[in-house]
Amino acid sequence: MLDILLDALIDTCKVFPFLLIIYILIELLEHKTTFAQNRKVLQGRLAPLVGSATGLVPQCGFSVMAAKLYDKSYIRTGTLLAVFLATSDEAFIILLSSGEAAAALAPLAAIKLVVAVAVGYIANFLLSGEKLASPTDEDMHAYSCGREHEGRKELDLYLFSPFLHALKISLYLLLINIIFGFIIAEIGEDKIAASLIGGPYLQPLITAAIGLIPNCASSVIITGAYINGGILFGSCVAGLCANAGLGLIVLFKNTQKLKRNILIVLFLYVVSVAVGLTTNSIMSLAGLIGG
């Protein structure tokens, strides 16, 4: 038992410095990012592409920003879906600092980008009759990012806040590492690899549902499970495509459009499951995973 706890702690401590550096860099990016300069792009033909690209940026709160803009009819449904499908919360950061599993980052980002752009453009084409409002400069500045930076000291903004964030995610990872450590010790790696908790055609249904949970813990659980060999790559893709983060909470604050919001979530889930199943099927046919 002590060995499992110690191994989990060591593995987590190795990741922490990378998380801290990445979060500091992201805070710098957030402070310089504004959508006031891109108002025409957000409502133009490039909107799904721009939304997908910005959604890939971890921890910039773009899903929150997109949900706010959508609720005021400043962006189209396809653009919102593009941002939601591209968003992965903490996943990219964890993969980037995970060692060998970092190799999955490029294909994961590529799949999410392609899916997000395709769905965004198709949805905007099918819903071409949507009427858009004209945002003011004040509105666009207010939605430049998911969190406010004004009035905060630089030491708090660029060091203390990233440190606490990195510590929080590290604690999540420590818990996941401990759980998987005990599972591997009790069941054995061979049996886990053989069963893989549901197989390639059930896992995406489960991981996509977990991904819909609007909390950073869901992306940590999904990514941690993949890194530890608990789920397949396609299942990880399904979970992270559905992982729109806090944007879903913002969306459901508008109770007057509950039916619309439920349909968006259901569509997000169906697309995510379909992408996960397709990915697992292709990998199975290629002999990369067991059928």
Mean pLDDT of the chain: 80
Pair of tokens at residue 48: 């799904």
Task: Report d(CA 102, CA 18) in Å as an integer.
Answer: 12
The domain spans of the chain are 2-285
Amino acid at site 229: G
271 has a pLDDT exceeding 50: yes
Task: Report d(CA 32, CA 92) in Å as an integer.
Answer: 21
Task: Report d(CA 47, CA 25) in Å as an integer.
Answer: 26
Task: Report d(CA 91, CA 167) in Å as an integer.
Answer: 15
In the prediction, which pLDDT does 144 show? 46
In the prediction, which pLDDT does 192 show? 46
Q: Which of 38-47, 241-250, 268-277 has the lowest mean pLDDT?
A: 38-47
Q: Residue 237: CB partners within 8 Å, gap ≥ 6?
A: 108, 111, 112, 204, 275, 276, 279
Q: Residue 204: CB partners within 8 Å, gap ≥ 6?
A: 234, 235, 237, 238, 239, 272, 273, 275, 276, 277, 280
In the prediction, which pLDDT does 32 show? 55
Pair of tokens at residue 259: 């039916």
40 has a pLDDT exceeding 70: no
Pair of tokens at residue 197: 């908790």
228 has a pLDDT exceeding 90: no
Q: What are phi and psi of 171, to 5 degrees?
A: -65, -40
Rounded to 10 deg, the angle between the 47-56 and 62-71 helix axes is 140
Pair of tokens at residue 183: 């599972």
Q: Which of 35-49, 58-72, 134-148, 197-211 has the highest mean pLDDT?
A: 197-211
Query: pLDDT category, 143, cuts 50, 70, 90?
Result: very low
Task: Report d(CA 118, CA 51) in Å as an integer.
Answer: 12
- Whole-number Cα distances in Å, 19 to 15, 115, 170, 192: 6, 27, 8, 28
DSSP assignments along 135-156, one per residue: --HHHHHHTSSSS--TT--HHI
